[in-house]
Structures are given as C-alpha cells and as structure tokens.
C-alpha cells in the first residue's frame, strides 16, 4: 500500500499535485491500494478550506484513494491524527522506557529555538541528564555520530507541549497502516533517515526493508522551492492539464509517458 500524505497548511501547488499523481501511479504498479492520510498534527496551520482543497485536487486529478477519508466530514470524524493520539503516546512511552544500549539515546531538552543554535544546546542537554518528566521539555534523539546529524541534529520525537513530532507520528502511521512504498520530495530525505532511526528505536522491522521510498525532485519556480499558498487559487488555476501533471510524475518515476 502506498500513501498520499499532505499537510493541510495551505492551498496545494503543482508539486503537491504531481506528488499525488506519483503515488497513484505507484499504487497502480503495486497492489493497487492507496491511502489518503492527511497529516493534521500541526493544528495551528490547518484550515477547513485547505482540507477541502486536498479532496478537490484529488477529484480534479481523477485519483480515488482506496483507503482513508471520503470527505472533510469523514476525515474529521474518523481519520484525523487526533484519533491516533493513543498510538503516538504509546510509541513515546516505548521510547522512554526502552533502552537501546548501543543505539542513539533519547534526552530531554528545554532549549528554545534561539537557544538551540546549529544543534548546540544552551543547557548541554544530551549529557545534562534532564528528566524526561520535567515540564516544558522536548524529547530529542541524540544524533551525534549519525549521517543525518548535519541536516537534522537531535531531531525531536515529542514537542515541548507533550504532543508527538512529525517524525514520530509519520513513523507510527506508516507502520500502523502497513505502508510498503511511497514517493516523497527529495527535501524529505533527511526526514526519511530520521524516521528510520525512530523505527529502529520502536523495535519495528527495518524501514528500508519494509518500505520502498522514492525521493523525487522538487519543482522549482524562479529557482526557488514552490510553497503552498495562503490565498485562493491553487493548482487548478495554474493552467496545466491533468495529463501534464501525470507527465511530471511519470518522469519522476522514470515511467514511459
Ligand atoms: Zn537543548
């Protein structure tokens, strides 16, 4: 099973639409199963209009996921990540209680964004032994010695407010839904590496053995990365056809047009 996993933090752009198409093509080439998983952990950025936009773009592309919500109402009632909070909390509890003698260690970090400059902790958190139960601490993984350290030093699995981080939730969800393949942007390469680390710490089977992750290029606009827009418009206003979106996806996957 593959998955389409947008974050509803703005109106989707052409790159997002091509990513949807790439995952639909991957599903068609494998077991035909395609999950729509809307990642709405970051509650502050989610808007109902952005949720609706996900369904509108799928409709426009003619993609029908085989699993997941049918519409915004179904999503809110049954599929929001809020409903899987017990799973994430159980995973965090596993990380807290499991000791991986030779693996990367979990530690508590009270640093503000400013105090955590370039991966250097103001409070020497990785070695300071701050209690994980202390209030207002993030839980981070000590990434020293890991290849991903340069891009994602000491990434968080739990945020200061006690909620799971994206890396934790994505790892748990991919395992929970038995995702076996997915296409994601190459900007998420470090995230994939971080999720492989979390997966190991949780005792899941190796991520690289259970998931075939394809990192595709990003579409650039004037040399910069496309970003979701906050205003109305969206991908259907760009003047591209459904066929052109699928052509981009096919090129990413090295499929004949
Ligand atoms: Zn810190």
CA of 92 from ligand 1 middle (Å) equals 18
Q: What is the pLDDT of residue 144?
A: 92
* pLDDT at residue 231 greater than cutoff 70: no
Q: How far apart are CA 10 and CA 207, in angstroms?
A: 29
Q: How far apart are CA 126 and CA 124, in angstroms?
A: 6
249 confidence band (pLDDT: 50, 70, 90): very high
CA of 213 from ligand 1 middle (Å) equals 31
Domains located in the chain, CATH noted: 2-83+179-184+206-252 (3.40.50.620)
Q: How far apart are CA 50 and CA 55, in angstroms?
A: 9
CA of 155 from ligand 1 middle (Å) equals 11
CA of 139 from ligand 1 middle (Å) equals 9
CA of 124 from ligand 1 middle (Å) equals 6
The DSSP call for residue 18 is H
CA of 135 from ligand 1 middle (Å) equals 14
* pLDDT at residue 102 greater than cutoff 80: no
* pLDDT at residue 126 greater than cutoff 90: yes
CA of 122 from ligand 1 middle (Å) equals 6
- Distance from first CA to last CA of the chain, Å, rounded? 23
Q: What is the pLDDT of residue 227?
A: 73
Cα–Cα nearest to 141, from 215, 206, 91, 85: 91
- Dihedral pair phi/psi, residue 108, rounded to 5°: -95, 140
Q: How far apart are CA 29 and CA 18, in angstroms?
A: 16
What average pLDDT does range 88-94 have in this prediction?
97
* pLDDT at residue 30 greater than cutoff 80: yes
Which positions ≥6 away from 126 have C-beta within 8 Å?
105, 107, 140, 142, 144, 154
The DSSP call for residue 173 is H
What average pLDDT does range 161-185 have in this prediction?
98
């Amino acid at each position: 099973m593959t998955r389409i996993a947008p974050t509803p933090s703005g109106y989707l752009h052409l790159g997002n639409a091509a990513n949807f198409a790439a995952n639909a093509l991957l599903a068609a080439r494998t077991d035909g199963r395609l999950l729509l998983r809307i990642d709405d952990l970051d509650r502050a950025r989610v808007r109902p209009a952005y949720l609706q936009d996900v369904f509108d773009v799928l409709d426009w592309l003619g993609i029908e996921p085989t699993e997941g919500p049918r519409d915004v109402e179904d999503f809110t009632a049954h599929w929001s990540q809020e409903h899987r909070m017990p799973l994430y909390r159980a995973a965090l509890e596993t990380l807290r209680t499991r000791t991986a003698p030779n693996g990367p260690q979990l530690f508590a970090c009270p640093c503000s964004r400013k105090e955590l400059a370039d991966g250097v902790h103001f409070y020497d958190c990785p070695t300071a032994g701050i209690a994980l139960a202390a209030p207002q601490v993030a839980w981070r993984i000590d990434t020293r010695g890991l290849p991903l350290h340069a891009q994602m030093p000491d990434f968080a699995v739990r945020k200061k407010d006690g909620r799971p981080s994206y890396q934790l939730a994505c790892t748990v969800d991919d395992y929970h839904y038995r995702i076996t393949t997915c296409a994601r942007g190459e900007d998420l390469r470090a995230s994939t590496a971080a999720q492989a680390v979390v997966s190991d710490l949780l005792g899941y089977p190796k991520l690289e053995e259970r998931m075939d992750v394809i990192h595709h290029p990003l579409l650039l606009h004037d040399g910069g990365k496309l970003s979701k827009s906050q205003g109305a418009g969206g991908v259907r206003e760009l003047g591209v056809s459904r066929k052109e979106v699928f052509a981009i996806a096919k090129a990413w996957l090295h499929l004949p047009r």
